Chain A
């Protein structure tokens, strides 16, 4: 209680008057005390409320996701695209104090990317602010800071970084503004296809896991790159596909670009040749036509022979075989091993237009490749299916598809006959799409044997990797240009699968317009340039993909082996 000292009241006042005064004073004091008490209660209550209920001070920063854009990972969690805080160095020219020429010289010494003149021009600019360096290392920032110039400013800005640089550039794509749209968004690849998902504030914390395996991708890029330089090819593509899930393990398109530094990239490099370019892939189509013929019962007997002694005349067309090919009656395995156009055309003729077109449609050749990317090209489907069209498409002329189409068709050939759409997203174990049946199990089993034979005895020998039981088919298609097909320019492809006794992966390598070298005796066929790439990629990555090389195992081809007459060499045996 507060002790009160009352003013001495003049004695001459009356008693009642005094009492009234005291009462008023008491009331006033009481009100004052209540007010003070109320103030105390208010303050204490507020403190208590703050202590008990208020959210933490930094909460606002914590709740909001620190990431500006989601990460992209490979199938093993290796980051392929990340957003990091990068240091930027800028300058406010009006606030500079020291001598600008001196400063430009020391900047040029610290950041040798540009010369002193360039820096001087930036420092004397009539602007409030301009960037000097956008990807500065902390070390460089410290050194520039040590120059002690208040006009130089440093900031951390979110920056999209592709740690693997050019690797899988066409799969990942890039982000940035375009000429017409200043907004920074995904402009190609996964960045474009999943732009919303990657920049959605609620979901950008969780990364996207791709089906790509960075190690396989790197091996494929290095081998293809080496082959491309070696043979001075115009472009090269490579695909590795999981045959049971449709996952794309590796997708390489050369020439490549660097998504970290996109300006000045040529349009050739920006094009994803795996999904955006269509090629007439030549003899790699023969196994597809053969599978169709076996599946439809056009061919029931592997020993059945067709006349390959002379070129085949159909109307005004003549279908030739290569000069080195045997000119005799060939059975089915020999047709593939020696890659005979004449026999394949005859088989296609017996099969007819409907069944051929139905097979191509079932394998997805009638539409753009089934993949998440937005950069997809439609195949060139024959406008008119004449008798000759049926014949030529059987050996890969007159129909142009993307390398991804081809890889998926081979996956269907060897995986038991199931077509599945290809995907760039990792598929959880057991979550593979059911797909649809295109070929019977028996046809697929027969195709595995035939493809293995091609590698054991035919043009695919250089595509073999010891112990990995590779099977595949080469194809050398001529490039159609102005004035017909070019004899000198071609597209060499090797489409393979391994291990053939229980296929798990399809590997396709393609070189566009390779040149001959001394090593290949000037030859530009796939057996000499594309097949070795596949062989080396498989021996480099097969074990990582979970296929144990084993020289003591192989698919049983003993049934077909005697059918292939290889001249005087073993296994010659039973042929005529």
Chain B
């Protein structure tokens, strides 16, 4: 009788263990699912926050605001027709070191120039034919040519040669972006294939590096 009781108790415990085992699986699944849900909620919250931050950024940096800053401080202008090159050949043919070549993208603070120079410079450089008209034609027709240099100053990017910079005497920075031929050295000759493909300082670096290597090998 007692043996039977123990036996049935054993059966009972075994079945409880099995049932618990079976029960644990869905519990585990439920726990895992809950974790997943929490992650999903977190993702949703993060997305909402990203959205809010993006919106805040967009609002603070809205185009009207950027335009105002540009008008007041930066003075960036759209690239002009001369700053686009048609193909690779035209790009390779660019000669930045020549006097009429493009200005390279680099941060170059303008040297402050005397006010008198600034007043004269646009007349001499920016638009030569127009300037002649200003100088020679009678006062009645002269104003016709006045808006032209101003319009040019508004549209055309920073003039190419350093002499013309005074047209914007208040501007702190050279402000043409010439992405195609950007180099860290502003006035390095770039595309003369035979001798100046690499600029001198770079060649010097290579040479000194090679010397150092040969020395260390000895």
Question: Which of the residues B9, B40, B51, B79 comes within 8 Å of A543, measured between beta carbons?
Answer: B79
Question: Do B64 and A222 touch (CB < 8 A)?
Answer: yes
The answer to whether A51 touches B26 (Cβ under 8 A) is yes
Give the residue of A52, A62, A536, A550 whose beta carbon is less than 8 angstroms from that of B81.
A550
The answer to whether A576 has its CB under 8 Å from any CB of chain B is no
Q: Is the CB of B44 within 8 A of A48?
A: no
Partner among A48, A79, A467, A541 whose Cβ is within 8 Å of the Cβ of B58? A79
Shortest Cβ distance from A533 into chain B, in angstroms?
A: 11
Are the C-beta atoms of A218 and B23 separated by less than 8 Å?
no
Tell me, in angstroms, the Cα distance from A552 to B90 when the chains sit together.
Answer: 13
Q: Does A440 contact B (CB under 8 A)?
A: no
- Contact present for A52 and B26 (CB under 8 Å): yes
- We find that the number of chain B residues with CB closer than 8 angstroms to chain A is 46
CA distance A287 to B182 in the complex (A): 45
Using CB atoms, name the residue of chain B closest to A539.
B155
Q: Is the CB of A468 within 8 A of B55?
A: no
The answer for the CA separation of A540 and B26 in the assembled complex, in Å, is 64
Q: Which of B9, B29, B58 contacts A52 (CB 8 A)?
A: B29
Is B62 an interface residue when CB atoms closer than 8 A count as contact?
yes
B129: shortest Cβ distance to chain A, in Å? 14
Say yes or no: A51 contacts B5, CB within 8 Å: no
Evaluate whether A218 and B63 lie within 8 angstroms (CB atoms) in the complex, with A536-B155, A539-B155 already known: yes
**Given contact pairs A52-B26, A164-B62, A466 touches B80 in the complex (Cβ within 8 A):** yes
Interface residues of A in 461-481 (CB under 8 A from B): 462, 465-468
Are the CB atoms of B5 and A1 closer together than 8 Å?
A: yes
Chain A, 1-18, CB within 8 A of any chain B CB:
1, 3
The answer for the CA separation of A1 and B12 in the assembled complex, in Å, is 8
Encoded as 1 (CB less than 8 Å from any A CB) or 0, chain B from 70 to 87 comes to 010000001111101010
Return chain B residues, CB-CB under 8 Å to A221: 64
Evaluate contact between A161 and B81: CB separation under 8 angstroms: no
Q: Is A321 an interface residue (CB 8 A)?
A: no
What's the least CB distance linking B137 to chain A, in Å?
14
The B interface, classified by DSSP as helix, strand, loop or mixed, is helix
Question: Quick check: A56 and B33 within 8 Å, CB to CB?
Answer: yes
A226 CB to closest chain B CB, in angstroms? 9
Chain B residue with the shortest CB-CB distance to A82? B55
Whole-angstrom CA separation of A85 from B49 in the bound complex: 10
**Distance of A3 Cα from B4 Cα, bound (Å):** 12
Separation of A361 and B146 alpha carbons in the complex (Å): 44
A551–B54 CA distance with the chains assembled, in angstroms:
40
Bound-state CA distance A241–B94 (Å) is 35
What is the bound-complex CA distance between A521 and B141, given in angstroms?
A: 10
Q: Does A548 contact B (CB under 8 A)?
A: yes
Instruction: Answer yes or no: A163 CB below 8 A from chain B CBs.
Output: yes
* A551/B81 in contact, CB under 8 A: yes
- How far in angstroms is the closest Cβ of chain B from A83? 10
CB distance from B98 to the nearest CB of A (A): 19
Interface assignment of B8: CB less than 8 Å from any CB of chain A: yes
Tell whether A519 pairs with B58 under 8 Å between CB atoms, given A1-B8, A52-B26. Answer: no
Contacts of A215 in B (CB 8 A): 63
Residues of chain A within 8 A of B37, CB atoms compared: 56-59, 62
Known contacts A51-B27, A58-B37, A550-B84: does B64 contact A85 (CB below 8 Å)? no
Q: Is A536 touching B154 in the complex (CB atoms < 8 A)? A: yes
| A44 close to B63 (CB less than 8 A) | no
A78 touches B44 (CB 8 A): no
CB under 8 Å from chain A, chain B span 123-150: 143-144, 146-147
B84 near A548: Cβ-Cβ < 8 Å: yes
With an 8 A cutoff between CB atoms, is B41 at the interface? yes
* A266, chain B: closest CB distance, angstroms: 20
Query: If A221-B64, A543-B79 touch, does A532 touch B58 (CB 8 Å cutoff)?
Result: no
Inter-subunit contact B82/A551 (CB<8 Å): yes
Partner of A218, one of B67, B71, B84, B146: B67
Query: What residue of chain A has the Cβ atom nearest to residue B9's Cβ?
Result: A1
A467 to B82, CA, bound (A): 8
Cα(A57)–Cα(B79), bound, Å: 57
A50 with B30: in contact, given A57-B37, A84-B55, A550-B86 (CB under 8 Å)? yes
B212 at the interface (CB under 8 A from A): no
Which chain A residues (277-302) contact chain B, with CB distance < 8 Å?
Answer: none
B residues within 8 A CB of A465? 155
- A161 with B34, Cβ < 8 A, contacts A51-B26, A84-B52, A218-B64 known: no
Tell me which of B36, B41, B44, B62 has the highest count of chain A C-beta atoms within 10 A of its own C-beta: B62
B64 contacts A166, C-beta separation under 8 Å: yes
Known contacts A3-B5, A550-B84, A551-B82: does B67 contact A222 (CB below 8 Å)?
A: yes
**How far does the alpha carbon of A557 sit from the alpha carbon of B146 in the complex, in Å?**
29
Judge if A214 is at the interface, Cβ distance under 8 Å: yes
Interfacial chain A residues near B207, Cβ < 8 Å:
none
Shortest CB distance A529–B (Å): 11
A424 to B117, CA, bound (A): 50
User: Restricting to A376-428, which residues have a CB under 8 Å from any CB of B?
Assistant: none
Measured between beta carbons, the chain A residues less than 8 angstroms from B5 are: 1, 3
In the assembled complex, the CB of A62 is this many whole angstroms from the nearest CB of chain B, namely 7
| A521 in complex: contacting residue of B27, B52, B143, B151, CB < 8 Å | B143
Residues of A near B38 (CB, < 8 A) are 58
29 chain-A/chain-B pairs, Cβ below 8 angstroms: A1-B8, A3-B5, A48-B23, A51-B27, A52-B30, A56-B37, A57-B37, A58-B38, A62-B37, A62-B40, A62-B41, A82-B55, A163-B55, A163-B59, A163-B62, A165-B64, A215-B63, A217-B63, A221-B64, A462-B151, A467-B82, A519-B147, A532-B151, A535-B155, A536-B155, A539-B80, A543-B79, A548-B84, A548-B86
Which B residues have a C-beta under 8 Å from some C-beta of A? 5, 8-9, 12, 19, 22-23, 26-27, 29-30, 33-34, 36-38, 40-41, 44, 48, 51-52, 54-55, 58-59, 62-64, 66-67, 71, 78-82, 84, 86, 143-144, 146-147, 151, 154-155
Q: Which 3 A-B pairs have the closest CB atoms?
A: A467-B81, A51-B26, A218-B63
